[in-house]
Amino acid sequence: MAEFTVSVIQVSYGDEEAMADRIERVAGLVRAEAGRDLVVLPELWPVGGFDVAHWEERAQEIPGPGPVEATGLPERRWVEAMSAAAREAGVTLHAGSTVERTAEPGPEGKDLWNTSVVLAPTGDVQAVYRKIHRFGFDSGEARTIEAGSELVTTPLGPFTAHLTTCFDLRFPELFRSGLDAGADLLVLPAAWPLPRVEHWRTLLRARAIENQYPLIGCNTAGTHAKRHEMGGGSLVLDANGDVLAEAGPDQEVLRVSLDPEHTARQREKFPVLASRRW
C-alpha cells in the first residue's frame, strides 16, 4: 500500500498580524504543499490563539459537511480561504480550528465554539469537530465558549482519523473511545504554551503508545496577547510512539510519510490491545 504523505504546518504569529492577512498568508503556505495527501494546521490560529479578548469579534460561522459557498466579500471567511487552498493544492486539509459562531446558542447559552474543520481536495467540508474539553478552568475558553459533545472520526486516505484539539490531550478516555469507534490515526491541532511543552510531548507519546496508532500533533509558535508564549514542538509519531518528525520552537513545516501497514505489524508484534479487560 502506498505511503500517506503529510505536511504539518507549525504556524507562528503574534498580535501585530491582522486576521485577514494571516488567513491569506497561511492559505499560501497550504498551497505550497500541493501534491501531499494531507496538510495539517494548528488550533485557533485565525483568531490569534490565546488572544481571548478578540474572539467574539473574530468568530465566524462554519458550514456543515458539503460545499462551501463564497460570500463575495473582499475579506474571505476562514472556511472559504481554506476551502480554496485545499482545492488549489489538491490536498485534504485539516485547517486547524477557529472560534465558530452559531445561530443557536448551546446548552450554556453561549454561541461560540472552538471548531476544527477537515476539507476534502474538492474544497468541500468533510468533517467538523467542536472541542470537547475547554481549557482555562474559570477563564478563557471555559468562560467564553460552549463545549462540544460529539466524538468525530473521518477517513483520511487509508486511515480513520479521530479529530481532537489541544486540552483534549489530557483526557485519555476520549482517545480510548476514539479507538473503539474505529480510529487508527489521531490528529490533534493545538495552541500549547511553552511552559508545559514537556507535558505536550509526554502525553502525545503516551496516547500513541497506549492506543498503538500513529499520531499527528500540530502546535503553534509565537506569542499571543503579548504574554502567552507558544511551545512549538509539533510531533508526528508512529504506532510504537517513535518520533517520525519533530519541530523546533519556530515556524516550521514537517513533511513525513506514514506507512499504513506499520500499525498492524506493531499490534501483531506487541499485542497489548488484545489484553484489554474493558
Ligand X SMILES: O=C(O)CCC(=O)C(=O)O
Closest CA to 230 of 42, 46, 73: 42
Residues 223, 14: Cα–Cα separation, whole Å: 5
43 has catalytic annotation: yes
Q: How far is the CB of 266 from ligand X (least distance, A)?
A: 28
- Taking the least distance from each CB to ligand X, the nearer of 138 and 268 is 138
- Taking the least distance from each CB to ligand X, the nearer of 82 and 204 is 204
| Per CB under 6 A, 143 contacts ligand X | no
Q: Scanning residues 110 to 139, which ones bind ligand X (CB under 6 A)?
A: 135
269 has catalytic annotation: no
Q: Scanning residues 149 to 208, which ones bind ligand X (CB under 6 A)?
A: 166-167, 170, 191-193, 196, 199
131 has catalytic annotation: yes
- Taking the least distance from each CB to ligand X, the nearer of 84 and 215 is 215
Candidate list 33, 43, 146, 252, residue with the active-site label: 43
Q: How far is the CB of 89 from ligand X (least distance, A)?
A: 27
Q: How far is the CB of 137 from ligand X (least distance, A)?
A: 10
Q: How far is the CB of 98 from ligand X (least distance, A)?
A: 13
Binding site for ligand X (CB under 6 A): 135, 166-167, 170, 191-193, 196, 199
The set of catalytic residues is: 43, 131, 166
